[in-house]
Structure 1
Amino acid sequence: MDEKRIKILAISGSLRKNSSNTNVLYALSNLKSKNTDFHFYEGLEHLPHFNPEIDTDNPPDPVTDLRKQLKLADGVIICTPEYARGVPGALKNALDWIVSSGEFVNKPVAVISASSRSSGGDKAHESIMLTLEMIEAKIPKESTLQIGAIGTKINSKVEILDSTTKEQLKSILNSLISSIKFN
């Protein structure tokens, strides 16, 4: 009997092409098991500013695409930097588009914040956790991580340089996968 493939949607909160947060997600995808597929959401910069007046049965195409990708995913991993002591606007905007449509309700989600600062982006982490809890995402306690001094732990070639970080990322992924239930 074939084992069901697990579909993970990876979302980086950074729009930078060589973002350390995006690199964390790629490094994490390299740790996945054979039956797990990673898909990287690349439409963050194309989402219009949230406006409830256009959040109708027929929303803009980029919003429809985001919602479709979330529906198809068995689980989601978000890795975000911290900007101005909070979640970057583009990522918060994407989450705002999901409030009314409910794709995160009971969806298993892992949350990582990565920062060059030693705090690991603690304010962004707190902020995104509040938003995800409000939209009823299922966030296992073992599926959250704050990584400080990220530039010393994962390089631009997506190589994990720190063994503790590698083990933490493996643990995050295992926790997320074990929280995914198939009907």
Structure 2
Amino acid sequence: MRILTLSGSLRARSTNGSLLRAARTLTEADGTAVTTADIGGLPHFNPDLDGEGAVAPAPVAALRKSVAEADAVLVVSPEYAHGVPGVLKNALDWLVSSGEFIDRRVGVITASPSPTGGDYANAQLRETLRMMTGTVVDESCLTVGTISAKLDRDTGEIADPELTAQLKTALQALTPNPTTTTA
């Protein structure tokens, strides 16, 4: 199983980055490979760079290849101004018409210092990914409020056993099986 993660935060000590590192750790034992796509170097979305007869810029081609090779995609993001961070929206814009998300299993985790956990960004991402014809797996979607209180202050690792269990459940739900509910 290969899970590609897309992070909506470029910060080195991002709380969402902590969730991605935990995802890698939680899946090591079962042989699942979790990798994170580098979306920070993508050019601003411009259909003229990718239209008929054009060759996609190298970072865009690499992102598309990573998504195409993944069995599932996990989007982990903060919420900015009740929305999706620009860097993540830009990456998704490059993927809208290229087809890599068609029927791709996808989960969405938003984490925020606010108690609501980024519920606006979570809902927006789910809608965008459904429009892109991704298969949003409800059990792989979480909103994590007051994230800072759930992480070790020094290491940034998850210190909350309940959050660890929720993340593990979300990752397991991305593995295709006949009992998983999708929307």
| Same structural fold, with TM-score higher than 0.5 when normalized by the shorter chain | yes
Give the drift of 1:179. 4.8
The equivalences for 1:23-38 within 5 A come to 23-32=18-27, 33-38=29-34
Aligned residue number for residue 178 of structure 1: 176
What amino acid sits opposite 2:168 in the alignment? K
Give the drift of 1:158. 4.4
SS at match of 1:91: helix
**Residues 118-146 of structure 1, C-alpha deviation per residue, up to 9 Å, x if partnerless?**
00001111111111010011111111000
The equivalences for 1:32-47 within 5 A come to 32=27, 33-42=29-38, 44-47=39-42
Contact 1:76-1:107 at 8 Å conserved across structures: yes
Aligned residue number for residue 129 of structure 1: 126
Name stretches of at least 5 consecutive residues in structure 1 with no aligned partner: 1-5
- CA distance in structure 2 between the aligned counterparts of 1:146 and 1:179, rounded to whole angstroms: 23
**Residues 21-46 of structure 1, C-alpha deviation per residue, up to 9 Å, x if partnerless?**
1110111111113321111112x111
**CA RMSD for the aligned pairs?**
1.4
Contact 1:27-1:158 at 8 Å conserved across structures: no
Q: Does 1:67 align with 2:64?
A: yes
Q: Does 1:51 align with 2:46?
A: yes
What amino acid sits opposite 1:151 in the alignment? S
Name stretches of at least 5 consecutive residues in structure 2 with no aligned partner: 179-183
Contact 2:16-2:78 at 8 Å conserved across structures: yes
Q: Which runs of 4+ in 1 moved over 6 A?
A: none
Q: Give the fraction of aligned pairs with identical amino acids, expressed as a percent.
A: 44
**Residues 72-108 of structure 1, C-alpha deviation per residue, up to 9 Å, x if partnerless?**
1111111000011100001001000011101111001
TM-score, normalised by the number of residues in structure 2: 0.90
TM-score, normalised by the number of residues in structure 1: 0.90
